[in-house]
Structure 1
């Protein structure tokens, strides 16, 4: 079977790009002839047909002869306008990743978000939509797009067994982690405000470390500057009781180490179509704090503290409670209610997103769609 994958870019440290890379390798592993069309590709191991204009795809022989054309969509890109002109006989499928609402974006991004929602109407030309979550499917239906759809979560790798313990059990330093773009919709400003409250209310024996893993290229420069300033200001104000480390574009092994060591993962996000970092944090045995919106209730499955969106005081209370819990002897014991029980329950929950399981569901869905006739 000939397959064309289409997106604007396929880069590192990006959930949509990672999903494209997964599907590229899964389809090739199943024996299919796959070509990715994109303007830019930095994903290792993915051979890309780099294109400029829409005509570079439309008149390419592989595209013209494809049995399946799979577009990914989460924000406006010119190549998505090829969907209505996919050659007759090819199945047209869209992997829909949702669009961040305009009110959560910087003003400079508002025009792009407006264009994205207008372009989303192209999905009506698809034969089928693969949605990362039920929330994403709801967005389509709210937009009166009735195209047949399947909810297919993203694949998220997890360790082969629960993480046995955390370094804080030995050195007493409670490690906090944040993974995500430094943009308003991810809430880094709320995290810093809540941390200041916690530091003001805790005693000198509470020692913290915050590791921030951020995609620098896709971050808001003002929030990036805020986080860099916090790396100096917070330790000074707190008398050295906290260390703040900013890891820009950290490689996967560094991110995995940070999550493996972290006691508490905090993401005060205001909108998620799926949220891979939350799943990764649960898999690594972290306590998770997030906000109660969009897909976070579903992707945490009762294994997180969810606070009202934008409520910094509630976020600070949740953060203080989790810090106190992970410092308590009961948490470090092998008994009920301790770390070991939490890590095992969370690890079991995230196995529903295992790459092997999602790969098989994807391959089965593609096979069904192509052979509908």
Structure 2
């Protein structure tokens, strides 16, 4: 059982039945809040149980925050959901991500050259297959490239299936738009495959309506893949001045940006350079230094390490 001198780092991103137990210990508690998707996104697609759990998790946040000694949000967007401070320490520390893994290798560059040569507009999406990420609109972007602009899209969607009915809904959109040969769902792929897909794509597309951080944005930055899509929640903060993002979910405009970045090498390289510079703000060493400043108050040995 944790003692008074111990430290618990409590990552919170969903309703946790162990929360009362954890908060009942005498140990110091560092809360790391990754945000919880509001239930209405799931309820709109009949996922009532998941929706209720998300809303319960969000409702419990004020109690957890009041108990914690330090409250960390991995974005300012997440921190904004904390109730008014009562003497505790608050800060923003971004998510750790493996920037080394997502740097493209020579083989990835060769794949990009081959994919560019075939004339298709190669798109990638990475994330859980859940309603708030609006994968339906990502598919519609591919549909606009094919049916409005008149080019051939190749969209690879990487993720995990959380709900079969919602997955069938996504498949129905693919069929309705005539994209059976243009869209591929890639489930539970390793990180090396994600890196290769990003490095050989013309764009990573995000139309998500709720994110607490969105690590695949940084993975795209590291892989040299332009990000196009819609500004929303923490996406705007994570991207900063990088990426090619619109303020609204304009399907045709996002499709047009993806095509433009394929056709115009100078524009593509300008986006990639801005993204590479932005990625430096989330380098592993910088993130660790922020954590170290917090942990030194609890683990004095770190000050001399």
Q: Does 1:212 align with 2:157?
A: yes
* Counterparts in 2 of 1:148 and 1:306: CA distance versus 1, 3 Å: same
Equivalent of 1:272, from 205, 211, 216? 211
Aligned equivalents of 1:225 and 1:356: distance in 2?
Answer: 42
2:11 alignment partner, SS class = strand
2:253 maps to 317
Which of 74, 78, 93 lines up with 1:136 in the alignment? 78
Query: What CA RMSD, in Å, does the superposition of the two structures yield over aligned residues?
Result: 2.5
1:112, 1:322 → 2: CA distance? 36
Structure-2 change in CA distance of 1:342 and 1:111 (3 Å): closer
Residue by residue over 1:337-356, the C-alpha shift from the partner in whole angstroms, topping out at 9 and shown as x without a partner, is 34334323311210221223
1:262 maps to: 201
Equivalent of 2:91, from 144, 150, 164? 150
Q: Deviations over 1:139-188 (max 9, x none)?
A: 11xx3454321110012222486778533433322210011111110001
TM norm structure 2: 0.84
SS at match of 2:258: helix
Deviation at 1:292, TM superposition (A): 2.0
Number of corresponding residues: 288
Distance change in 2, residues 1:289/1:342 (3 Å): closer
Deviation of the 1:231 alpha carbon: 5.6
- From the CA coordinates, give the structure whose radius of gyration is larger: 1
Unaligned runs of 5+ in 1: 1-59, 332-336
Which residue of structure 2 aligns with residue 221 of structure 1? Answer: 164
Which residue is equivalent to 1:16?
Answer: none
Task: Tell me, yes or no, if the aligned pair for 1:163 and 1:285 is still in contact at 8 Å.
Answer: no
**More contact order relative to length (CA 8 Å, sep ≥ 6):** 2
Confirm whether residue 125 of structure 1 aligns to residue 70 of structure 2. Answer: no
- Work out which of the residue numbers 173, 182, 200 in structure 1 matches 2:147: 200
- Deviation of 1:300 after TM superposition, in Å, equals 0.8
Match of 1:3 in 2: none
Q: 1:341 to 1:197 in 2, by over 3 A?
A: closer
Provide, for residues 79-135 of structure 1, a one-character-per-residue CA deviation record: whole Å limited to 9, x for no partner. 111243222xx3211111112112222341232123212321222111111110111
Q: Tell me by how many angstroms 1:191 deviates.
A: 1.8
SS at match of 2:241: coil
Structure 1 CA distance for aligned equivalents of residues 224 and 119 of structure 2 = 17
Contact 2:241/2:274, CA 8 A, preserved across alignment: no
